[in-house]
């Protein structure tokens, strides 16, 4: 597998070939690049399940011309640094757990049909002719309360799609995430990755600091959430473009 393999279905195209290296060693440049679209980590804001940011804040970030102190501080947080350092270890542990090879793409991709959406992958596995996303997470002792360890899977093949009948999209996402045992903001993140790969399911791989335990969660594609992500993403990106025009940035 290589980075080019992921563009063969004409859903994605490579926009930044060396994004992984930039994220590690040129963080401010990487922040600027991320302003060119909505990455998977922005999905929770677009869909209203991010506890820290809202859409107006996201629009302001995408239109900024400098790097704020808040943006700089995010990368310096202890748990963020731990997560970045531990990502290769988490993926390696998953390889041993699953008995499959995990490929780490270097590139940042954007959607051909929805160029306002971008995606970076922690890892990808191939089962048959299907590419599946693997998202690695370090879970601090404090954050472990947002996960349900009893809902982890025990084999790669285990797991079924969860269905709920919640009214609003936000309610739907919240309930679906609870059924899978994962935080809502990670549920939306992997849905953007699943849409990018046209994949039926993917894996959230969580290494818990408490007990130093690896838990794997199998998340299935949610067409409702993916459709809303595209719709709201497009509406919000139009607002970003309009704001940039007002500021003379286009």
For residues 82-102, b (16+ Cβ closer than 10 Å) or e, as one string?
A: ebeebbeebbebbbebbeeeb
Least confident interval from 78-92, 96-110, 186-200: 78-92
Categorize the per-residue pLDDT at 149 as very low, low, confident or very high, splitting at 50, 70 and 90: very high
As a whole number, the mean pLDDT across the chain is 91
For residue 76, pLDDT beyond 70: no
> Would you state the structure tokens that stand for residue 107, as one six-digit string?
């590139």
Q: Quick one: angle between helices 27-34 and 69-76, nearest 10?
A: 120
Q: What is the pLDDT of residue 152?
A: 97
- pLDDT, tens digit, 9 for 90 and up, residues 201-213: 999 999 999 999 9
Pick 73 or 28 by higher pLDDT: 28
- pLDDT, tens digit, 9 for 90 and up, residues 203-240: 999 999 999 999 999 999 999 999 999 999 999 999 99
Q: What are phi and psi of 172, to 5 degrees?
A: -60, -50
Q: What is the pLDDT of residue 101?
A: 96
Which residues contact residue 162 at a Cβ distance below 8 angstroms, ignoring those fewer than 6 apart?
Answer: 176, 179, 180, 220
For residue 83, pLDDT beyond 80: no
- pLDDT, tens digit, 9 for 90 and up, residues 3-39: 899 998 889 999 999 988 888 778 788 888 888 999 9
> Which among 183, 182, 184 is positioned nearest to 169, based on CA atoms?
184
User: Do the Cβ atoms of 111 and 193 come closer than 8 Å?
Assistant: no
Residues forming a β-bridge with 137: 206
Looking at the domain that runs over 3-246, which CATH code has it been given? 3.90.320.10
Q: What is the pLDDT of residue 223?
A: 94
Task: Using a pLDDT cut of 70, give the percent of the chain over it.
Answer: 94
Q: What is the pLDDT of residue 65?
A: 83
Which residues contact residue 127 at a Cβ distance below 8 angstroms, ignoring those fewer than 6 apart?
Answer: 100
Cα–Cα distance between 80 and 61 in angstroms, integer? 19
Q: What is the pLDDT of residue 82?
A: 76
Radius of gyration of the chain measured on its C-alpha atoms = 17
- Global pTM reads 0.94
């Amino acid at each position: 597998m290589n980075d080019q393999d992921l563009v063969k279905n004409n859903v994605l195209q490579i926009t930044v070939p060396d994004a992984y290296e930039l994220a590690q060693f040129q963080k401010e440049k990487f922040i600027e690049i991320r302003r060119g679209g909505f990455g998977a980590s922005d999905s929770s804001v677009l869909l209203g399940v991010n506890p820290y940011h809202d859409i107006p804040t996201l629009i302001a970030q995408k239109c900024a011309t400098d790097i704020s102190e808040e943006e700089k501080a995010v990368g310096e947080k202890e748990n963020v640094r731990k997560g970045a350092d531990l990502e290769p270890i988490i993926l390696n542990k998953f390889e041993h757990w699953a008995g499959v090879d995990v490929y780490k793409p270097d590139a940042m991709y954007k959607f051909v049909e929805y160029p306002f959406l971008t995606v970076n992958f922690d890892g990808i596995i191939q089962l048959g002719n299907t590419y599946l996303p693997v998202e690695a997470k370090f879970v601090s002792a404090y954050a472990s309360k947002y996960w349900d360890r009893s809902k982890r899977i025990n084999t790669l093949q285990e797991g079924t799609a969860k269905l709920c009948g919640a009214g609003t999209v936000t309610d739907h996402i919240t309930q679906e995430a609870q059924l899978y045992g994962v935080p809502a903001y990670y549920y939306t993140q992997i849905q953007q990755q699943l849409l990018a790969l046209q994949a039926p399911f993917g894996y959230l791989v969580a290494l818990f600091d408490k007990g130093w335990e690896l838990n794997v969660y199998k998340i299935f594609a949610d067409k409702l959430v993916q459709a809303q992500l595209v719709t709201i993403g497009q509406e919000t990106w139009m607002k970003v473009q309009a704001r940039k025009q007002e500021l003379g940035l286009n």
